[in-house]
Amino acid sequence: MANGLDTATPYVQLSRAQWSDLRKNTPLTLTEDELKELRGVDDPIDLAEVTDIYLPLTRLLNLHFTGARQRSAALNTFLGGGRRTAPYVLGIAGSVAVGKSTTARLLHTLLARWPEHPRVDLITTDSFLFPNEVLTAKDIMHRKGFPESYDRRALVRFVADVKAGLPEVTAPVYSHLEYDIVPGAAQTVRRPDILIVEGLNVLQPAPPTALAINDYFDFSIYVDAKVEHIRDWYVDRFHKLRRTAFEDPKSYFRYLADLSEEEATDFARNIWRDINERNLVENIVPTRGRADLVLHKDSNHSIQRVRLRRI
């Protein structure tokens, strides 16, 4: 293997240093204060990580975006013109608590600052969870986040409509505070240059004869880490939420704010073992091989290895 290229696999394996070298002259357009607003609960990402990992990634995505635009223009010419260039769709997958939401928010901000694609929208698949009332009626409230808890047909239709260039496409709105879909609320997407779709199961294959949302992706990213590390991050995040968001009287989890430290740890570990780890092992990890890029985190949350699909 030379320069991370293994001819026996379709991937290029790169260390953090090798990946960082691919930044070239991509400028850092993010401040420390802006990063504080973008990072998730218990996510220690700093500007060094942005520089080493995310600037090379935005350079790659910009090159990929340009190539996709050129292919779309060529097809438009072949068909006689008159059609809008299709939006570029980027999918981001990974476990609960692995940091994929921070990755999505960072890319949303950084990509929007490239002159080639000023309109960048971000949608999370949480918006397509069935309302709690429906999950309860289906007796799957305990499987919230598993593939069957999403309105997959509505999600695929949303991404397909955006990809088709419809002037406006709307999605429901999910409240993490209330742990439910917000009745009557909607997020509207208006012909973005780039649409980022972030969620647990965005790389899930479709049932036979159907389409999956990843059929509309131009590029996909999987945020990866060892299961035991994600478990620890989940428990740490739970404690921080218990001392912050859970104390809000409107929070669905208000009752958890009064648990003792030991009770909270036991509760979080049980939820992780019975729900999140099962979903990760059964449904999420098996889709990792479908990603175009895998960002692998070490125990301290920093990305130390990158795997890029080359064919």
CA 61-158-100 angle, 5° bins: 45
201 occurs within a structural domain: yes
179 occurs within a structural domain: yes
79 occurs within a structural domain: no
**What is the model's pLDDT at position 9?**
79
45 occurs within a structural domain: no
34 occurs within a structural domain: no
Give the residue-averaged pLDDT of 295-302: 96
Give the residue-averaged pLDDT of 190-197: 96
224 occurs within a structural domain: yes
Assign residue 189 the CATH number of its domain: 3.40.50.300
Domain count, the chain: 1
Give the residue-averaged pLDDT of 98-106: 96
216 occurs within a structural domain: yes
33 occurs within a structural domain: no
pTM of the model: 0.94
**What is the model's pLDDT at position 191?**
95
**Domain span including residue 132:** 87-309
**What is the model's pLDDT at position 1?**
44
Grade residue 277 by pLDDT with cuts at 50, 70 and 90.
Answer: very high
Name the least confident of 35-49, 132-146, 275-289: 35-49
Give the residue-averaged pLDDT of 52-60: 97
Phi, psi values for residue 285, rounded to 5°: -55, -40
Phi, psi values for residue 101, rounded to 5°: -65, -40
pLDDT higher than 70, residue 8 = no
